[in-house]
Amino acid sequence: MDQAAVIEARPKKENPMRRIRIEKVVVNSCIGSSAPRLEKAAKIIEMLTGQRPELRKARKTIKGFGIYKGQPIAVRVTLRKQRAVEFLRKALQAVNNTLKASSFDEQGGFSFGIKEHLDIPGTKYDPELGIIGMDVCVHLSRPGLRISLRRRARRRIPRGHRVTKEEAMEFMRSEFGVRIIEE
């Protein structure tokens, strides 16, 4: 047997640095007012994600909406690793495993909204808490992203190593069974 046949006979391994993964899932709900409604929204998001959300404050005053700078108006939670994957599976079921192609950006991320948290499987209506909507933002990346984020010896990620829109769409089709509609 010659050398070339031996090389071809070995199964080709996938490069582990080219594998796409979910970096983080950010769940955001903007209530627009403070106090009781914001606390109820925080309880709902904590119940859905299993993680305590943080309060987000208004950056500027908008008198027409009754919002003032520094006033808490939203809650947000960032999920990573297994918790992010589990929540994303439930959130995608809330939108019937369908995403628009316009929801994907060129940097390997996508976002979608859930009108009522009751659409997520396994949630029950609590009259004391009410109903809230939320935005789900997902960031996809490849191993090695840290070199662009670290403090010491920071470097740029080459263009070929970044996740493209088409790769992100294919990842969601194959890993989560998502149907992507063109509009």
| pLDDT tens for each residue of 104-141 | 999 889 999 998 888 888 888 888 888 888 899 999 99
Q: Please answer whether residues 138 and 113 qualify as being in contact, where contact means their C-beta atoms are separated by less than 8 angstroms.
A: no
Within the chain, how many helices (H) and strands (E) appear?
A: 5, 7
Q: What is the pLDDT of residue 80?
A: 92
Q: What is the pLDDT of residue 78?
A: 94
The answer, yes or no, to whether residue 9 has pLDDT greater than 80, is no
CB atoms within 10 A of CB 75: 26
CB half-sphere exposure, 47, CA atoms < 13 A: 17
The whole-angstrom separation of Cα 67 and Cα 59 is 10
Which CA distances in Å does 112 have to 6, 27, 55, 102, 139?
A: 49, 10, 21, 10, 12
Give residues with Cβ within 8 angstroms of 51, minimum separation 6.
77, 79, 83
Q: Average pLDDT, stretch 39-45?
A: 88
Range name among 32-36, 113-117, 139-143, 145-149 with the lowest pLDDT average: 32-36
- How much of the chain is in helix, strand and coil states, percent to nearest 5? 35, 25, 40
Q: Which CATH number fits domain 15-28+77-181: 3.40.50.2300, 3.30.1440.10, 3.40.47.10, 3.40.50.300?
A: 3.30.1440.10
Nearest to 113 by CA among 24, 21, 28, 23: 28
Q: What is the pLDDT of residue 151?
A: 93
Q: Average pLDDT, stretch 35-45?
A: 87
